[in-house]
Structure 1
């Protein structure tokens, strides 16, 4: 299913592939890729057991995406290993790893949807026209049930950090 005009990118309506997810439903499965001493995979099953924040961005090479990742990294430090936090984008795993090293990102992981766009389609975040992910924030409880869902209506805007962080903290 496609959702024309679900969000805008620089003011222009764009189409999101897949169905929107909603709070209260089970999180869709996914496989992301990351680089840590070699190519690795990360799936929904790997995150169950702890509350999880999924911070979705178009590309870490843009100012707003970098800011979003740094803000969540800083804000989640106090929760330590009580939660999982992952920034998801289409960036290559090597570039994501380099960004995290340069920006001292230690309180969240990164996961790339570059191989099959399965996360973007399953979570309804893939912008069909651009083949990148829209900006979104999702929180799920330790069992993989979604407790917070935000698709940012204008992709160049930041998410509601307070709402996402409140959802994470209430799930701990």
Structure 2
């Protein structure tokens, strides 16, 4: 399992670490209108899944905006940002931030994504920062678990992995 810290304190991640070459686990999260979103919702496309603790924090805000900007040059790639923020808060944040190319979804209800991808922080009921790229056949082609949850992920590598998977 990945060794992750949150503000330099070790945390316990629930679930199993996902590795390159694995079949991507299914999950159910909620869209801003409370409709379910699953891995199959974007079946047949390359997906970048950006995982953040909360869109209301500086690094998470920047991460979500960066992938929203990257979406303009990634035709045929679906980009999800997953957090445990409530769907209503996510919708408000997206409107204020002008984020409209990334689908921001909530894992608040049952941590389905967090446990399936090994990013649910037991002590905080937040998600650890991570980025995954899943190809059209639901194989994981890129996985990054950011060792310190308050640090930025690599932004270029997942974009390049998504382009290579097209």
Under a length normalisation based on structure 1, what TM-score does the superposition of the two structures give?
A: 0.93
TM-superposed deviation, 1:87: 0.2
> Partner of 1:74 in structure 2?
69
**Larger relative strand fraction:** 1
RMSD: 1.1
> Partner of 1:43 in structure 2?
38
8 Å Cα contact 1:85/1:108 also seen in 2: yes
Whole-Å Cα distance in 2 between the matches of residues 83 and 43 of structure 1? Answer: 16
> Partner of 2:4 in structure 1?
7
Task: Name segments (4+ residues, structure 1) moved above 3 Å.
Answer: none
Aligned length: 166
8 Å Cα contact 1:7/1:153 also seen in 2: yes
Runs of 5+ in structure 2 lacking a partner?
none
Runs of 5+ in structure 1 lacking a partner?
none
Whole-Å Cα distance in 1 between the matches of residues 137 and 42 of structure 2? Answer: 9
Q: Secondary structure at the match of 2:164?
A: helix
Whole-Å Cα distance in 2 between the matches of residues 171 and 100 of structure 1? Answer: 28
Whole-Å Cα distance in 2 between the matches of residues 78 and 99 of structure 1? Answer: 23
Under a length normalisation based on structure 2, what TM-score does the superposition of the two structures give?
A: 0.97
> Partner of 2:121 in structure 1?
127
Whole-Å Cα distance in 1 between the matches of residues 83 and 103 of structure 2? Answer: 11
Matches within 5 A, 1:76-155: 76-80=71-75, 82-155=76-149
8 Å Cα contact 1:57/1:65 also seen in 2: yes
Do residues 30 (structure 1) and 27 (structure 2) align?
A: yes
Whole-Å Cα distance in 2 between the matches of residues 110 and 41 of structure 1? Answer: 12
